A and B are shown apart, each in its own frame.
Chain A
Amino acid sequence: MSIWKYEIKKMLLLHKGLLFICLYFFLSIGTMVILDEPANPEVEMNRMQYRFYLNQVQGPYTEETEHFFTSEANKISDAKVALQRVTDNFYDGYIGEQEFLTSSDSLAIILKNEVGFQLVYNQYVYVRENPDNRKFLNTNGWDGLLSNDSLDFLFILLVLLLVTPIFCYEFESKMDALLLTVKKGAKTHTLCKIGLVFVIVSLLCLVTAGLRYGFYSFKYGLENGDYPLQSLSYFGTSIKDVTLLQSFLWITIGKLLGNLCFATLILFASVCFKKYAITLFSCTTVVLLPYYGLKLESSKFLWPGPLGFMVSTGFFRGNEFKRNLVKDQMELIFREVSFTSWIIVFTITFSLCVVMLIVILHKRTNVWIVQHRKRRRRLPLLILVLGIAVSMLVGCNSFNGVMIEGTYNYSSKGSFENDKYRFYMEQTEFGNNQIVFEDKTSGEKHNLVRNPMTSLTQIGAPIYGDGTYIYYMKIDFEKIGFQESATRFSVIGVDITRFNEKIIFEKKLSTDKGTVLGLVKGNTYVASFYLTVSAFFLDESSLYLIGQSNGQTEIRKINRTTGAMSVLFRIPVLRSFAFDGRTIYFVDEKSQIVKYDTKTDIMTSIIDLVTRDFILTDTELLFLNRKDQQKIYAMNLHDSTIRKLTEVPVLSFRYNNPYITYIGKIDMKEYQLFIDSSSN
């Protein structure tokens, strides 16, 4: 066996390096799979629609693109109006069914991908700011791969585990002196160790980069690698003339250099200190402290040392500014690293590495082999190493299944009633929402949210109730200095018997890096959706939120355990909506009621039931029949038979078992109608 083989054996087997490498890849892949979230979740939730439009504009911004967006925007808005008109005409009897179907189907096709258009349009707004170096592409993959300045903490630990014993073990075994007295034990042995470290670290770095590339390619796709880097908004202001793929390669090379520099630092520290603890401590602090300590993000890329290179993405970012509301001026939050600065940082870092390697070789060399040695500096090594260090430095809970009792209607999203209480939303004199409940027998009224500390919390207007629980949502805020920001969205369940509260779902909203070390950061797109939630309901495994995204009303399903979110569907006009514990009822663009089974994910339209306003009761679907001058009808949920309840057109109605209260369209008077479901 050669020295190489022995050193490999020592590193990978005797020091358990192979085990650590396997553990690293296991954890690394695990964290990627579990923790990765798309930069723009909207795109992933509307992949098909987004793709439809992206495929048409993918590539550079041209005049044609401009025309395309203008015409497409007009087409969509015209289609909306036309569909409404065609529907009205059909239900008013002006056109036949065949004509209606032909027209509405073609219009529905145009509107089908509206949300995709909105997403691509947002991209268009970005691209047209600087069409020379921005192109249309699906950015999630590249954003995941490139648009972050995160440090691979697990990789740092792995490098420490692999490299620290290289020399420290020799000192621990007291082999250092003996090795210096044998022919190949000094320089050759040391060079072999350094070479091995460089090869292993490089391999691991490249495999990690490949793994990340593979992961993002598989999960989101990494097409259009030849597009300019500025196509990603993270690098929007960059003046570097590189493509995405080139950037990835450069960043990988940068990371490789950074990790090699880090490995050199570890080797250097271990040769100087000869002990594990101080080597690990000094090397960890050199990387972690500037990473977490430097306030201006670009600082870490302007100081020599491994850190900037280990992150590397910052070398490709441009100047970024943020408006200071107090001073009313733009403040620099990221300073572009110019090529000259990069060369200087690289040169100093490279020189530092060379100096460290020379010191390592010098210290691991037999006196008789060195022909001319300068007088040994008596400066304590500790100060030398720490000097280098300084130069581098300064530079959803367990929950019992929800037993759904009764039905949920959008029209009553702010109220709920059971045998004993009536819950509803009340506006306070200060304009805040207050959920109150009224004892039906005594008429006593109390607040449902009984937390006496109301400041920095905003209670949402909608409530949802099932048999024993009533749920409300709230948003918590924090105020530091003069800045107030939303921190968390929560859905709380209150048991109606003893009024104990329990958290059903929580989502972190703050998107800044303010908390502790900034390891957990919310997503702007996700946070903005939570802030628009206007209604919600839930079952034993999921929470359903109705909110706004890209100007459209969406129903999103959220897994209560994992927090995974998906768009169930969009509602063109949110007026009526219902949920019976398993099936969601909503009105589609053709004013037909659609049933969506949350268990089987099957969607079915109720034929011949045309309405925009309906209410679901336990046994019937009450609706204003668009085909019969908006008179109230009832459809039996079991046998689908339909009966007419009023003979006059109705403007609006509400249901309060067993009464329907409605306002007549002609006389605008309010009437009450007793309905006996059993008579049906």
Chain B
Amino acid sequence: MKVAFKEISKQYKGKYALHNFSAELERGVYGLLGTNGAGKTTLINILVGILKSDKGQVLINDIDARKSGVQFLSHIGYLPQFPQFYKNFEVMDFLKYMCLLKEIPLQQGEKRAKELLEVVNLSSAARKKIGALSGGMRQRVGIAQAMLGDPDILILDEPTAGLDPQERIRFRNLITKFSENRIVLLATHIVSDIEFIANQVILLKDGQLLKQDTPQALMESLNGKVWHVIATDKTLDEKLKRLKISNMQRDQDNILLRVIDDEKPDEHAASVQANLEDVFLYYFGEGEQW
């Protein structure tokens, strides 16, 4: 399975939400990373067919998605941002309903729903009303419904937003589990989610593709650009103004600053290994002032 975006553009009130966006996705987990308003949800909505692009094409295995028509939908599983679902439906009933809408035969669907509930650890909540579930549980119902038809493409829009750390870890593991032999497109601005599970990261800024690479490569591209600088209370203000700082940590009288800079910011500065947060800050943190 291969998904290709070809020069996708979308405008809202004269402003580009997506501008000539092109990218290719093959098997693996893709982290769609960008600030709020970067165009992540717009891109996902175009991919799943909720929104129509003003320009460009989406190709599935080199065939225009438009030509695939309804068949295309059987390839995708989608978990929208902040899903609520029918509060007065029971979990199992809801999954059966989704099976019906996805044209999954009844028995097969029921079996698959049970399996998925097992996988997402919700078997005991199968007869509970959705309205009675916690945010994390509801999110797990969401991913279960997305996985119902064993889709080739799994699209998750901000799936971990609002989850506690334990739920988030559990969810990340689920994504990894479900990523086998399929494309998983994970839109988020939570860097750590992507850092641990994404094979590729798509950096989206102002509706345009900034960079697409593996997390490792992106981090390596920042080698020699991430520094540890020691500052005191007296010098801190001057450094904050001058430097792009990704982290600060007080160590007794001194303050350890993690600085991102193309050049060595200080003669005592020590080069350190970059992480994905640094990458994020490097590309999206321009003009940010402390």
Contact = CB atoms under 8 A, between A and B. Distances in A.
Interface of A: 1-3, 6, 10, 14, 169, 172-175, 177-185, 188-189, 366-369, 371, 373, 376
A368 B83 contact: no
Given A14-B86, A173-B86, A183-B70, A367 B101 contact: no
B68 interface: yes
A183 B101 contact: yes
B98 A182 contact: yes
Interface stretch (B74-82, B212-220, B229-237, B271-279): B74-82
Query: Number of contact residues on B: which range applies?
Result: 35 or more
B74 A183 contact: yes
30 contacts: A3-B101, A14-B86, A169-B86, A173-B85, A173-B86, A174-B80, A174-B84, A174-B85, A175-B86, A177-B48, A177-B50, A177-B80, A181-B48, A181-B73, A182-B102, A184-B100, A184-B101, A188-B101, A189-B101, A367-B46, A367-B51, A367-B52, A367-B66, A368-B49, A368-B70, A368-B72, A369-B73, A371-B66, A371-B69, A373-B52
Contact of A179 (B96, B101, B103): B101
Given A181-B50, A185-B101, 7 more contacts: A3-B100, A3-B101, A10-B86, A177-B48, A368-B49, A368-B73, A369-B49
Contacts of A376: 52
B97 A182 contact: no
Contact of A174 (B49, B73, B83, B100): B83
A177 B44 CA distance: 11
A367 B83 contact: no
A467 B72 CA distance: 92
B88 interface: yes
A180 B101 contact: no
B199 interface: no
Interface in B244-290: none
Contacts of A369: 49, 69-70, 73
A6 B73 contact: no
A176 to B, nearest CB: 9
Contacts of A179: 101
Contacts of A2: 100
A367 B86 contact: no
Given A367-B50, A368-B68, A184 B102 contact: yes
Given A366-B49, A366-B50, A368-B73, A184 B103 contact: yes
B87 interface: yes
Given A178-B78, A369-B69, A1 B83 contact: no
Given A181-B48, A366-B49, A368-B70, A14 B88 contact: yes
Contacts of B87: 173
A181 B84 contact: no
Nearest to B104: A183
B232 to A, nearest CB: 51
A361 B49 CA distance: 15
Contacts of B17: none
B84 A177 contact: no
A178 B77 CA distance: 9
A368 B66 CA distance: 5
